[in-house]
Amino acid sequence: MTIGIFFTLICLVFADPIMRLCGATDGNIEYLRPYYMIMSSFSIAILLQSELGIFIIGEGKTVVAAVVIMIGGVLNCGLDYHL
């Protein structure tokens, strides 16, 4: 968890250099910045989803893990939809 917080802070502080390192140009970095900041801010929740999913599967509750992953995928599709 501490590592996740550390990397989240690094990603938020050095947002522009990281986006440029990934191939963003000056023309599209303004469009990328809002999405990048939201994803970076919620990276701890994304890490927790992965970690807790592994624990749930390890407990033998694979159906619960599958349902939670599907709900997350549907929510992601719904929230990313643009007209």
Q: Domain extents for the chain?
A: 1-41, 44-83
List pLDDT tens digits, range 30-51: 999 998 998 888 888 888 888 8
> What is the residue-averaged pLDDT of the chain?
87
DSSP state of 23: T
Range 36-61 burial, b when 16+ CB lie within 10 A, else e: beeebeebeeebeeeeebeebeeeee
pLDDT grade, residue 53 (50/70/90)?
confident
Instruction: Return the pLDDT at 83.
Output: 52
Could you tell me which of 8, 47, 79 has the C-alpha nearest to residue 18?
8
pLDDT grade, residue 14 (50/70/90)?
very high
pLDDT at 13 over 90: yes
Could you tell me which of 53, 73, 74, 75 has the C-alpha nearest to residue 64?
53
pLDDT at 68 over 90: no
Residues in Cβ contact with 5 at an 8 Å cutoff, skipping those fewer than 6 apart: 44
